[in-house]
Chains A and B, each alone.
Chain A
């Protein structure tokens, strides 16, 4: 079974509008972390935002926010005021277990976001 599911292969958004990228996850571990990465055409994965399973509040980082619904096992990324430079692949990833940098990440298949002027 897929541990991370991203159901939107591609999304379009008008510049300056907000967009939501969906992510659902599957784990039985009570301790886990959820990440969103951006991958431009250059290939490098750029860390955007993190949500821990025990965090009470939704994470925010500038124009990025994470809509964390634990009971539904969803962790959607919201990008506000989209910019042309936001056009890229976006990956949702999960780390099961304690919050440690040595735990491998499991990635979804990604969503390609295209921002239209």
Chain B
């Protein structure tokens, strides 16, 4: 059973550039959430996709956008990169709601983005 996968593993960009990160959810999962984890901090929720629509969004600017495909995989796009966007970007997948379980989110290994 494949877990959550993310690509690329590492990425180096310069200020002002644009970046696209990719995520494939755990088999059978239909919901993908993206988190940003700055150095020394806990992850912060960016947004969530379900049925190819953005369902919820955290306190992040419009420079952060995303997409979900029919196979439930997802992309995170960041435009006009700032130095402060340097972070580990984590993708998490889950089922919308499964009674009788903890409904925990399963995380991928993350993409480490460095903005110079």
Pick from B13-21, B61-69, B72-80, B95-103 the stretch touching chain A: B95-103
User: B42 near A108 (CB under 8 angstroms)?
Assistant: yes
User: B96 near A102 (CB under 8 angstroms)?
Assistant: yes
Closest chain B CB from A108 CB (angstroms): 5
For chain A, give the interface size range.
20 to 34
Chain A CB within 8 A of B7 CB: no
Query: Could you give, for residues 92-117 of chain A, a 1 whenever the CB lies within 8 Å of some chain B CB and a 0 otherwise?
Result: 01000001111011111110000000
User: A91 near B33 (CB under 8 angstroms)?
Assistant: no
- Which chain A residues in 29-51 approach chain B with CB under 8 Å? 33, 35, 37, 42-47, 50
Q: Which residues of B are found within 8 Å of A110, using beta-carbon distances?
A: 41-42
User: A101 near B94 (CB under 8 angstroms)?
Assistant: yes
Interface size in chain B (residues, C-beta < 8 A): 32
Q: A43-B109, A99-B103, A102-B31 are in contact. Are A107 and B96 (CB under 8 A)?
A: no
Q: Please, how many angstroms separate the alpha-carbon atoms of A109 and B37 in the complex?
A: 10
Q: Which residues of B are found within 8 Å of A52, using beta-carbon distances?
A: 102
Query: Could you give, for residues 30-55 of chain B, a 1 whenever the CB lies within 8 Å of some chain A CB and a 0 otherwise?
Result: 01010100001111110010100001
Q: Which residues of A are found within 8 Å of B107, using beta-carbon distances?
A: 37, 44-47
9 CB-based A-B contacts, threshold 8 Å: A43-B112, A44-B109, A46-B107, A50-B104, A91-B43, A101-B98, A102-B50, A106-B45, A109-B40
The chain B residues found within 8 Å of chain A, CB to CB, are: 31, 33, 35, 40-45, 48, 50, 55-56, 58, 88, 90, 92, 94-98, 102-110, 112
Q: A35-B104, A45-B90 are in contact. List 18 more A-B contacts (CB 8 A).
A: A42-B109, A43-B112, A44-B110, A46-B107, A47-B107, A93-B42, A99-B103, A101-B95, A101-B104, A102-B50, A102-B94, A104-B33, A104-B48, A105-B35, A105-B43, A106-B45, A107-B43, A109-B41
